[in-house]
Structure 1
């Protein structure tokens, strides 16, 4: 398995903006939630890239991200709300490939994917 190379600018943003005041796992989770809540400009399209047992999405399935899940639901990983039938469903952000032209949204989601790819956790 190839490890994602370190990206100094992204590492600096994560440590200086996202988890800067986090002294435990809960504070780290809240830092990520607040950062993503502020930076994700919804709605935007995404596509499922990974099968997860906690999610009904199928690989290749297109979804519309409509918001962040509640902070309490994001204590183990980041969940976003997607339109699913006539309702909204929380699914892991790491399961989705985003499709947005918005620079802030792209950077924020890429930061989370980088965090996961580097093997970091709360």
Structure 2
């Protein structure tokens, strides 16, 4: 999968943030789009360890995190810190749009 170009990213940002009045609402908009479109679970590597990205969550301080599992252990990893596998899961363009919006 090729990464979306700038115009495609901006279109995704516009879709996620339509009707948003502040950054808090924008983060919630991205969380909603990721929840709807990101195909989980998927396998990736965090700090050299294979993990399964099980889902996403929105923290009380308005950060989007990925719930990663290895065996019975679970850990929340900030979405911005999560390395994506190759090939990327369906819906990964929303992660790129979120990163683009934060720049």
TM norm structure 1: 0.67
Query: Residue in 2 aligned with 1:22?
Result: 20
Count of aligned pairs: 99
Give the alignment's Cα RMSD to 1 decimal. Answer: 2.4
Query: Residue in 2 aligned with 1:10?
Result: 9
- Structure 1: runs of 5 or more not aligned: 1-5, 49-57
Q: Secondary structure at the match of 1:104?
A: coil
Say yes or no: does 1:97 pair with 2:83: yes
Kept in 1, the 8 Å contact 2:50–2:70? The answer is no
Q: Secondary structure at the match of 1:26?
A: helix
Kept in 2, the 8 Å contact 1:19–1:32? The answer is yes
TM norm structure 2: 0.77
> Counterparts of 1:43 and 1:85 in 2: how far apart (Å)?
14
Say yes or no: does 1:66 pair with 2:65: no
Kindly state the Cα deviation for residue 20 of structure 1 after the two structures are TM-superposed. Answer: 0.9
Query: Residue in 1 aligned with 2:38?
Result: 40
Q: Which runs of 4+ in 1 moved over 6 A?
A: none
> Counterparts of 1:68 and 1:103 in 2: how far apart (Å)?
14
Q: Secondary structure at the match of 2:9?
A: helix
Q: In 2 relative to 1, CA 115–102 (structure 1 residues): closer, same or farther, beyond 3 Å? A: same
Structure having the larger proportion of residues in strand: 2
- Structure 2: runs of 5 or more not aligned: none
